[in-house]
């Protein structure tokens, strides 16, 4: 069978089974500054319904008679039935047909659907053992999210699903399962992933090596100690010692601009503090590019020799092709109520909805409520989270924030941390600092590691499960 066709099928099945727009994948990372909202950005898989005429009534099975059900596999004493496989298979086939291209054989696709159902069942069993539960409030939020993605109301969504043979209860059960799986994966996989500065540097080196030199821009600090033509060996040695002295001062922490003004014979040493300015790499001397390639921001190189003399270089800024230099940032504040046995998501949402009404009517101040009630590290600042670039927060929080205009207050929003009430204070376009660019790279590397860690964890979980396959009845 064509491996590319199988790969497309697997990707589609992953989209169908993960319900990414509801679960949002494995986003959240550590909790800097005690604010409990840090996350890696990344594209979330969206649930887009097929056109209304794409799925015949009955979930894609057309007028085919419904077969008698039977067990096709047992997972830790829990059955997987033929009808479950057929229903999931029909959804996968419709999705693949919409994408176009070659279709894998039905038998191969059915086997893959069965394997994914088994893996899903194993994870749901693990979630039950871990005591993970999903409140009806989260299900309602997920319903609204799917409807919004497809440009319809919740009632329109269910009318549409009804025409495709999907009942409201069945769809809500699917949402509950996928949200349960999300929380299990966050709980089990998150702790496995760490991203070091070395990981970031390696990623940047790989990007730079694969990028067109004209598309990568760098800003270098430069100190030049000239060597006269026909200089004697003693003069060359004296000039090299002077350049080395400049390099040693910079490496010891002295201000680069001050050292450049003192030591550099280049014009920019006096005028611009030794900075050559952000420019495409192919507009720099090859010696400069080769000497600094792959080095992290802040690195000092040299002295290196050229026909002109000795150079000391500092990597001040680097913009790799495809990396944004400016972003739209949000300044927000929030109130977080953490949920548990003493406070359900529904109760927390009701309490936050009351706070929202009080603030909007002028009866209460948002910051004062946050200081009094928020269970987040930002409470002492009145819930203020400061300025944040895209990807700073978990996707549920970020999606709600992006839908607001300055001054707006969201409806209560559920995330893995609890239930939030969010107010957007300001929005601006800002140039990313080097640290913020590295934070974005950290998020990219983290996402890749999360995918790898999830695959390993899922394989381990599947390996510990007892699975018995059953032959269909004759």
Tell me the mean pLDDT in the region 104-133. Answer: 90
User: Which 3-state string (H, E, C) describes 81-107?
Assistant: EHHHHHHHHHHHHHHHHHHCCCCCCHH
* Whether the predicted pLDDT of 119 surpasses 70: yes
* Whether the predicted pLDDT of 399 surpasses 90: no
Q: Kindly indicate the confidence band of residue 354, based on its pLDDT and cuts at 50, 70 and 90.
A: very high
The tens digit of pLDDT for each residue in 137-146 reads 999 988 888 8
Mean pLDDT score across all residues of the chain: 79
Which pLDDT value is given to residue 209?
Answer: 63
Which pLDDT value is given to residue 197?
Answer: 86
Q: What is the pTM of this model?
A: 0.61
Which pLDDT value is given to residue 36?
Answer: 42
* Whether the predicted pLDDT of 12 surpasses 50: no
- More reliable by pLDDT, 8 or 238: 238
CB atoms within 10 A of CB 124: 19
What separation in angstroms does the CA of 379 have from each of 334, 343, 385, 412? 8, 19, 9, 17
Tell me the mean pLDDT in the region 53-82. Answer: 68
Tell me the mean pLDDT in the region 386-403. Answer: 86
Tell me the mean pLDDT in the region 380-400. Answer: 88
Which pLDDT value is given to residue 79?
Answer: 93
Which pLDDT value is given to residue 366?
Answer: 96
User: Which 3-state string (H, E, C) describes the chain?
Assistant: CCHHHHHHHHHHHHHHHHCHHHHCCCCECCCHHHCCCEECCCCCCCCCCCCCCCCCCCCCCCCCCCCCCCEEEEECCEEEEHHHHHHHHHHHHHHHHHHCCCCCCHHHHHHHHHHHHHHHHHHHHHHHHCCCCCCHHHHHHHHHHHHHHCCCCHHHHHHHHHHCCCCHHHHHHHHHHHHHHHHHHHHHHHHHCCCCHHHHHHHHHHHHHHCCHHHCEEEEEEEEEECCCCCCHHHHHHHHHHHHHHHHHHHCCCCHHHHHHHHCCCHHHHHCCCECCCEEHHHCCHHHHHHHCCCCCCCEEEEEEECCEEEEEEEEEEECCCCCCEEEEEEEEEEEECCECCECHHHHHHHHHHHHHHHHCCCCCHHHHHHHHCCCCCHHHCCEEEEECCCCECHHHHHHHHCCCCCCECCCEEECCEEEEEEEEEEEEEECCHHHHHHHHHHHHHHHHHHHHHHHHHHHHHHHCCEEECCCCC
The tens digit of pLDDT for each residue in 149-201 reads 778 889 998 998 888 778 899 899 989 998 999 889 888 888 788 888 888 88
The tens digit of pLDDT for each residue in 277-334 reads 777 777 788 888 888 877 878 889 989 998 888 999 998 877 765 566 678 889 999 9
User: How far apart (Å, rounded) are the C-alpha atoms in residues 376 and 372?
Assistant: 11
Which pLDDT value is given to residue 121?
Answer: 93
Percent of the chain with pLDDT over 70: 81
- More reliable by pLDDT, 352 or 264: 352
Q: What six digits make up the tokens of 473?
A: 């009845």
User: How far apart (Å, rounded) are the C-alpha atoms in residues 400 and 423?
Assistant: 10
Which pLDDT value is given to residue 322?
Answer: 58
Which pLDDT value is given to residue 437?
Answer: 76
* Whether the predicted pLDDT of 33 surpasses 50: no
Laid out side by side, the sheet with 418-431 consists of 384-388, 326-337, 418-431, 413-415
Domains of the chain, earliest start first: 3-195+453-469 (1.10.4030.10), 212-319 (3.10.50.40), 326-431 (3.10.50.40)
């Amino acid at each position: 069978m064509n491996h590319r066709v199988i790969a497309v099928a697997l990707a589609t099945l992953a989209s169908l089974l993960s319900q990414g727009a509801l679960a949002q994948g494995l986003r959240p990372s550590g909790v800097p500054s005690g604010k409990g909202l840090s996350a890696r950005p990344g594209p979330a898989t969206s649930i887009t319904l097929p056109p209304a005429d794409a799925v015949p009534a009955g979930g894609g099975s057309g007028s085919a008679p419904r077969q008698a059900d039977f067990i096709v596999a047992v997972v830790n004493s829990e059955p997987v039935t033929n009808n479950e496989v057929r229903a999931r298979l029909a959804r996968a086939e419709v999705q693949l047909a919409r994408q176009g291209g070659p279709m894998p054989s039905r038998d191969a696709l059915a086997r893959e659907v069965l394997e994914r159902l088994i893996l899903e069942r194993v994870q749901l069993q693990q979630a039950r053992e871990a005591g993970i539960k999903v409140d009806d409030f989260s299900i309602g939020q997920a319903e609204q999210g799917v409807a919004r993605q497809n440009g319809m109301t919740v009632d329109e969504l269910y009318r549409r699903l009804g025409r495709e043979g999907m009942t409201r209860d069945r769809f809500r059960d699917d949402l509950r399962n996928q949200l349960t799986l999300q929380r299990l994966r966050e709980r089990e996989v998150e702790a496995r992933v760490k991203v070091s500065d070395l990981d970031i540097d390696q990623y940047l080196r790989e990007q730079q090596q694969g990028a067109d030199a004209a598309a990568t821009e760098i800003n270098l600090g430069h100190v030049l100690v000239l060597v006269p033509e026909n200089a004697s060996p003693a003069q060359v040695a004296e000039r090299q010692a002077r350049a080395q002295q400049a390099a040693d001062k910079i490496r010891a922490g002295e201000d680069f601009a001050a050292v450049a003004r003192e030591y550099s014979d280049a014009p920019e040493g006096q005028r611009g503090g030794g900075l050559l300015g952000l420019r495409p790499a192919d507009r720099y001397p090859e010696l400069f590019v080769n000497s600094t390639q792959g080095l992290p921001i802040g690195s000092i190189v040299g002295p290196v020799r050229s026909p002109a003399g000795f150079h000391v270089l500092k990597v001040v800024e680097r913009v790799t092709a495809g990396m944004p230099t400016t972003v739209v940032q949000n300044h927000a504040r929030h109130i977080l109520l953490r949920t548990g046995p003493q406070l359900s998501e529904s109760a927390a949402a009701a309490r936050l909805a009351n706070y929202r009404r009080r603030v909007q009517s002028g009866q209460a101040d948002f910051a004062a409520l946050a200081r009094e009630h928020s269970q987040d590290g930002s409470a002492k600042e009145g819930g203020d989270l400061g300025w944040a670039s895209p990807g700073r927060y978990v996707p549920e929080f970020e999606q709600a924030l992006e839908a607001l205009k300055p001054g707006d207050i969201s409806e209560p929003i559920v995330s893995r941390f609890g239930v939030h009430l969010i107010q957007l204070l300001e929005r601006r376009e800002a140039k990313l600092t080097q640290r913020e660019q590295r934070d974005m790279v950290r998020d990219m590397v983290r996402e890749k590691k999360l995918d790898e860690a999830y695959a390993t964890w899922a394989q381990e979980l599947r390996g510990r499960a007892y699975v018995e396959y059953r032959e269909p009845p004759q």
